[in-house]
Amino acid sequence: MQMLYNSDSFAVVQFEVASEEPDVREGVPGLTRGGYEIVDKFARKEIFIEGALAASFREGVDALIETSPSEEEIDAYVSRYAALMQQPLVLH
């Protein structure tokens, strides 16, 4: 688990889980799986994305980072995923 982004509006945490079975080819790391948890602090909702949606999210973030974005620009990008958020934020 790694905190990637934290603003007044959003938090993004990356989760990676390594495969329990190593790759049989030398020098090739085992497969990993995981995704991103995105939290909307004001709406108090969250979403966990994985697979193709997570890959698309990461590609968009990578492209955005190349432009040295402001916090407002990053928040605007992350807010695109707010409409998908259905899970209420529960603190434990």
Distance, C-alpha 46 to centroid of its chain: 11
What pLDDT score was predicted for residue 70? 95
Q: Where are the alpha helices (DSSP H) in 1-92?
A: 51-65, 71-78
What pLDDT score was predicted for residue 85? 92
What pLDDT score was predicted for residue 18? 67
- Residue 65 buriedness (CB in 10 A; 0-12 / 13-18 / 19+): exposed
Tokens of 35: 């995704």
The span from the CA of 48 to the CA of 39, in Å, is 9
pLDDT in tens, the chain (92 residues): 899 999 999 999 999 876 566 555 665 555 567 899 999 999 999 999 999 999 999 999 999 999 999 999 999 999 999 989 988 887 65
**pTM (whole model) above 0.95:** no
What pLDDT score was predicted for residue 35? 93
Cα–Cα nearest to 39, from 65, 77, 13, 18: 13
What pLDDT score was predicted for residue 61? 95
What pLDDT score was predicted for residue 30? 54
